[in-house]
Amino acid sequence: MTANLRKEERSLLYYISAYLAVGVITLYLGEPELNRVYQLSLGGGIKLPFWWFVIILSIGTMLGFWLISVYWRLAGFRCDPFLMPITAGLTALGLIFLFRLRPQYAERQFAWLLIGLLALVLITTLMRELDWLADYKYIYVAAGALLLVLPIFFGQEQYGARSWLNLGILQIQPSEFVKILLVLFLASFLAENRRVLATGSDQILGISIPGIREYGPLVVMWGISLLILVFQKDLGTALIYFCTFLAMVYAATARMLYVLIGLVLFFLGGTAAYHIFDHVRSRVDIWLNPWPFLEGKGYQIIQSLFALGSGGIFGSGLGQGMPNLIPAVHTDFIFSAIVEELGLLGGCAILVLYMCFIFRGLMIALAARNDFAALTATGLTALMGLQTFIIIAGVIKLLPMTGVTLPFISYGGSSLVANFVLLGMLLNISHEVNGGNET
């Protein structure tokens, strides 16, 4: 069975490798800049022809995925055969557009990718059985709280959010890893209390509700989300945390009442924050009408809308657009660059890939053998889906711009590594579903 799963996985990686090769050749074929010398910023100042720089990073990316697939076959790892090829496809697309937009960031992204792949190997090797993680839920709370508080006092502000820690040789965004701790805590807590949460222990106006011990975390999560919004100025992270919490509560109880109460609380808190804090009001005002802010804080979203509109159905062609008019195009607005050059069809293809990832994650959750594993898979999948929706909705002005990254595509080291950790945990659960822990 393991050999068949890995064979299917590798057959899909063939297509991803071909896609990356065609993308790079299309982007640089006949370009005079290939003859210039590129100096590696992370390689001690080593200089090499730009074409070799592109080739090394492209081959290195796909070789990393291939070697992991071979290792899993030798180790008897029976994980889902589709999730890693989907991830490889998204990563390859991100690398192509980082070559196109900011080659120096492609180099950094490749370095973070190697760290992410190493994390993936370690997690799928050392943590194949996740049930023991359910015993440490309050440690996750303490660690998560510490990681969220540190940037408030010692962090630095970037893109309007104070959520980064400068460690000298690198910068990390702790909130990216706290998302996973949040899922582990909620999965453990909800698995332990789901029966009381679903049926309720008290009655108010004929409606069954749980006691303070059960609904207390709902209020705590509401407070944490607002604290992140207020002190870190990170609207995107606050939305992801709270929406993930609501998704997991609904998955555990099937009660829309909790979701409605949570949405009302978040709306009330968000409304208060809008009237009290300037950075929240600024984001909402730009969302409602960016045109009065054309020369300032509304410039990025306006350029994003122009890029989306100019792409049309088929796009202007890879390398033929003008996405560099958007200042943060390699991070928050990389989806705009993709749609400008690959068109509506290219944008829809990306959405289909993310939908396939979410579908496989939910299938793993449905097949999980216990409540903790099922809720963990649900929460991790919800994280991926919500982050994708929130950033794309911000880029197209469906929601206020939030500043989160597009998973596996945008430049962002902390996000990339955290998403590979997420992927590894999902694959471990799928390994158990396929009977891997019984052999």
pLDDT above 60: residue 206: no
Between residues 131 and 233, the one the model is more confident about: 131
Cβ distance 51 to 34 under 8 Å? Answer: yes
Between residues 150 and 69, the one the model is more confident about: 69
Q: What is the mean pLDDT of residues 152-170?
A: 69
Amino acid identity of residue 423, one-letter, is: L
Q: What is the mean pLDDT of residues 287-304?
A: 88
Q: What is the mean pLDDT of residues 120-137?
A: 92
Structure-token pair, residue 204: 């108010």
Q: What is the mean pLDDT of residues 182-195?
A: 86
Whose tokens are 């994980």? That residue is 79
Give the torsion sign (CA, 174, 176, 177, 178).
positive
Low-confidence winner among 249-253, 382-386, 400-404 (lowest mean pLDDT): 400-404
Cβ distance 82 to 356 under 8 Å? Answer: yes
Residue 52 has a pLDDT of 84
Low-confidence winner among 27-36, 211-220, 403-412 (lowest mean pLDDT): 211-220
Between residues 39 and 212, the one the model is more confident about: 39
Radius of gyration of the chain, Cα coordinates, nearest whole angstrom: 22
Q: Which helix (H) or strand (E) holds 171?
A: strand 171-172
CA distance 415 to 175: 9
Residue 6 has a pLDDT of 87
Put residue 55 in one of left, alpha, beta given phi > 0 → left and psi -120 to 50 → alpha: alpha
Residues with Cβ < 8 Å from 243, sequence gap 6 or more?
A: 382, 386
Please provide the average confidence, as pLDDT, over all residues in the chain: 85
pLDDT above 80: residue 40: no
Residue 173 has a pLDDT of 85
Residue 431 has a pLDDT of 94
| Confidence at 161, pLDDT banded by 50, 70, 90 | low
pLDDT above 70: residue 199: no
| Confidence at 1, pLDDT banded by 50, 70, 90 | low
Over residues 55-94, the pLDDT tens digits come to 999 999 999 999 999 999 999 999 999 999 999 999 999 9
Residue 392 has a pLDDT of 94
**Nearest CA among 435, 330, 404, 399 for reference residue 104:** 330
Structure-token pair, residue 170: 């690198």
